Amino acid sequence: TGSSDPYCIVKIDDEAIIRTATVWKTLSPFWGEEYEVQLQPGFHSISIYVMDEDALSRDDVIGKVCITRDMLAEHPKGYSGWVSLSEVDPDEEVQGEIHLRVEVLGSQGSQRLRCSVLEAR
């Protein structure tokens, strides 16, 4: 039909912690959702998977964005902007990007992550 039913899953070190709402029948979803989670001191990466909900079969992975601990250290005041999706399955072509705002709040002993999943295209 030329559209998707996208939603996002946020994982910290491969543990799913957040699922956004599904935005029905669009290629340019707007979420505007914001979450805060406690980060473990030794975390390695935050992955955001963009999914396509499918009522009749397994949901499809459209692509993902991975934010590593090192990338967050390079942007101590946070990051806001469009990030290109990368493939999850090497046999699938991925096109698209997601608009994120990511901030690390607090001190080394008690860090929280504020991640705003704004929109995608």
Q: What is the span of the domain harbouring residue 106?
A: 6-120
HEC-encoded secondary structure of 9-78: EEEECCEEEEECCCCCCECCCEEEEEEEEECCCCCCEEEEEEEECCCCCCCEEEEEEEEEHHHHHHCCCC
pLDDT tens across the length of the chain (121 residues)? 678 999 999 999 999 999 999 999 998 898 888 887 877 878 899 999 999 999 899 999 999 999 998 888 898 888 899 999 999 888 888 889 989 888 878 777 777 778 888 888 8
In a domain, 23, yes or no: yes
Q: What is the CA radius of gyration of the chain?
A: 14
In a domain, 20, yes or no: yes
Residue 21's alpha-carbon distances to 48, 71, 73, in angstroms, are: 14, 27, 29
pTM beyond 0.95: the answer is: no
In a domain, 91, yes or no: yes
The two three-digit tokens of residue 35, written as one number: 């979450």
